Amino acid sequence: MKTKLIIALLLAISITGCQKQQAEDPKTHAAAETQFKKSDIIIGSYLDKLDSPNTSKAEQINIICKDYPTEYKTNYMPSLLKLQPNDYTEAQLLKDLDIALNYYKEKLSITCE
């Protein structure tokens, strides 16, 4: 049930994030769109690794405690806010991040220091 909720949430964010919206500066919009697409691929690979039974515990911990939140906060979230400023807030996106991280922490029995 939780897996379906997380997957649905991530798909909704991805789909709405990929919708084109006109920005005031086409170069800024293009850069944000490129950054978003790259970051979305990276985050997708993290989620694939977290869902794989072949991923080591050390790598899972590194992804959940360091890599995923860093990528999300420094690339994914800022580019999504530039592309869809009327649809998302920083607080809402940080809440979504917490939901996803808490799900994987519980699922994989991981505690970040």
Which tens digits make up the pLDDT trace of 63-93? 999 999 999 999 999 999 999 999 999 999 9
| DSSP at 5 | H
Q: What is the pTM of this model?
A: 0.76
Range with lowest mean pLDDT among 20-24, 26-30, 82-86: 20-24
Spatial distance between the Cα atoms of 12 and 45, rounded to a whole number of angstroms: 17
Residue the block writes with tokens 């709405």: 16
Amino acid at 48: D
Q: How many CB atoms lie within 10 A of CB 74?
A: 12
pLDDT tens digits, one per residue of 1-13: 566 656 655 656 6
pLDDT of residue 23: 44
